[in-house]
Structure 1
Amino acid sequence: MAVSKRAAMKFKSVQNQAELVKSYLLSDPYLSYTSVLSGIFASKMVYDFSHLISTSYFRTYAGLTKIQRIEWNNRGMSTAHAIFISTMSLYFVFWSDLYSDHLIAGNITFRSSQLSSFALGLSVGYFISDLAMICWLYPALGGMEYVIHHSLSGIAVAYSLLTGEGQLYTFMVLISEVTTPEINMRWFLDTAGLKRSNAYLINGVVIFFAWLVARILLFVYMFYHVHLHYDQVMQMHIVGRNLIFVVPAALGIMNLMWFGKIVKGLRSTLAKKL
């Protein structure tokens, strides 16, 4: 009886803590701040975890320069974020009923939920962390194109988080993060001296198709979706409307430029193999 009573009290305590988190940390007034801070904290944790794992299990890591080790850990952090946010984005865009045209009434441009907002907040926290590292170590972790990309992405995601507007289109754009792990893997293979390996070639082919689908065709689909729901988009605040039109267009142009480099690199790699 005493054991059962202690177990019941422990369960009640956990229940009370969960209710506290739901009522305060995840309530509307605090959700944005909690999620962004959580994203920054999670980014730092993943960065440190990448350093710890790499030191213990990757012999290549010990031979890297200081800036290479920083970039290695930074890419581990961006990979973790990409896996998380692309998974959440795919769920909200293609499987969740939150933005369905048929199951829920009302404008899709004004729909949001605690889960969707929390996911966006975590992403904002990551973009803040990564942009801070890029600027602090500029240009070691990336040139001006990375600063522009992260700034545009962070501003658009933060606006969607704070206002609840246009979250569907924000998630559509964030699906493009599905290409980030492959890009990072390419850097890891190159740094490990495996540029001539079959793994490097396969990775290049995967990048080509993933980029084509997630950063070219998906952007076309997004603009087509905006066209179909143009009247709903025009009901948004002028800032939100401009972000929906300008940010994806700017990112789309950058994606096309990078895609040209990907095609050129893949052709060069294939020519060496044949």
Structure 2
Amino acid sequence: MEDSTRFGYCVVAASFVGFQFCFSAVSPRLSLALCPPYCALPPARRIEWDSRCVSTLHALLVGSFCLYILWYDAAVNADPIWGDPRLVKLNVAIISGYLLYDLLLLGRYWKTMGDALFVCHHVAALYAYGYVLNRGVLPYFANFRLLSELSTPFVNLRWFLEAAGWPRGSGPVRANGVAMAVAFFSVRIAVIPTYYARVLAWHGTPEYARLGPAVQAAWIGPSLALEVLNLVWMYRILRGVYRACHAPRKQL
């Protein structure tokens, strides 16, 4: 095993432990100190609150790193299949640790937080990211998928507002609902043509052929599965925004 691959798995382990620590120790303490509504939540809701705090932290970290790579990593942008994957592998290792942590959390609290779509999403992503960690292939495309994390803070904020007692028709809920729909569409749906245009541009090239059938299947298969999930979630979000915008206007 190469040193960079060994380092990547160390980052996966550190990421897993770090996010678990944030869930178990950091979020409960900070939430109790800074968020009065947290104190009134029942235990099951506190678990999901802490989970979403960790999810937001992860999204901001990985999403910011993703944008940096897209804007400034010339090697990855020049050769999206075999470009220097060091920074991308680091980002993928962080998110892989998070996905493992989240799968464990879903299993422990399935009755409270269980969602089969999230399990499918996590498994598909881990399968594809495994090739990035092990072989360092497809750095641009792996990193491009991480743009989707930039919509997560808005999704979580919607839940926080609801848990804190904000009425569905209140101004903050409506504003966040619109922002969430715009962000989700921008980073998960609108980018689909750009992503697959780049895929088609490199399809059939010698660089693509070097991947081999297994990597090609691990690249395209999970990508298509994630698009289906994103479309399902986009529909759910639009339905929620519609209900919020047609709810009676209320203020706390």
By the TM > 0.5 criterion, same fold? yes
State the alpha-carbon separation in 1 of the partners of residues 104 and 41 from structure 2. 22
Amino acid at match of 2:158: R
Structure scoring higher RCO (CA < 8 A, sep ≥ 6) equals: 2
What are structure 2's unaligned runs of at least 5 residues? none
* Mapped pair 1:188 → 2:160: yes
SS of the residue corresponding to residue 129 of structure 2 reads helix
SS of the residue corresponding to residue 75 of structure 2 reads coil
* Mapped pair 1:133 → 2:109: no
CA separation of 1:114 and 1:100: change in aligned 2, threshold 3 A:
closer
8 Å CA contact 1:134–1:141 kept in 2: the answer is yes
1:34 aligned partner = 10
8 Å CA contact 2:5–2:134 kept in 1: the answer is no
- Post-superposition Cα deviations, 1:119-157, rounded to whole Å, max 9, x if no partner, equal 211111110000111122114213111111111112222
State the alpha-carbon separation in 2 of the partners of residues 84 and 41 from structure 1. 16
**1:193-212 → structure 2 map (5 Å cutoff):** 193-195=165-167, 196-212=169-185
Structure 1 consecutive aligned stretches of length 4 or more whose deviation exceeds 6 Å: none
TM-score (norm 2): 0.91
8 Å CA contact 1:121–1:158 kept in 2: the answer is no
State the alpha-carbon separation in 1 of the partners of residues 59 and 172 from structure 2. 21
Match of residue 244, structure 1, among 206, 219, 231: 219
After TM superposition, give the deviation of residue 68 of structure 1 in Å: 0.9
8 Å CA contact 1:32–1:161 kept in 2: the answer is yes
Amino acid at match of 2:187: A
- Post-superposition Cα deviations, 1:69-109, rounded to whole Å, max 9, x if no partner, equal 111111111111111111111222233212233xxxxx531
What is the RMSD computed on CA atoms of the aligned residues? 1.8
* Mapped pair 1:215 → 2:188: yes
State the alpha-carbon separation in 1 of the partners of residues 217 and 172 from structure 2. 42
State the alpha-carbon separation in 2 of the partners of residues 273 and 245 from structure 1. 44
State the alpha-carbon separation in 2 of the partners of residues 270 and 262 from structure 1. 12
* Mapped pair 1:118 → 2:90: yes
Q: Give the percent of matched residue pairs that are identical in Structure 1 and Structure 2.
A: 23
* Mapped pair 1:165 → 2:129: no
State the alpha-carbon separation in 2 of the partners of residues 197 and 46 from structure 1. 31
**1:1-274 → structure 2 map (5 Å cutoff):** 27-28=3-4, 30-47=6-23, 48-101=25-78, 107-195=79-167, 196-230=169-203, 231=205, 232-273=207-248
**Greater CA radius of gyration, 1 or 2?**
1
**Bigger mean CA deviation after superposition, 80-89 or 264-273:** 264-273
What are structure 1's unaligned runs of at least 5 residues? 1-25, 102-106
State the alpha-carbon separation in 2 of the partners of residues 234 and 135 from structure 1. 39
Amino acid at match of 2:20: K
TM-score (norm 1): 0.84
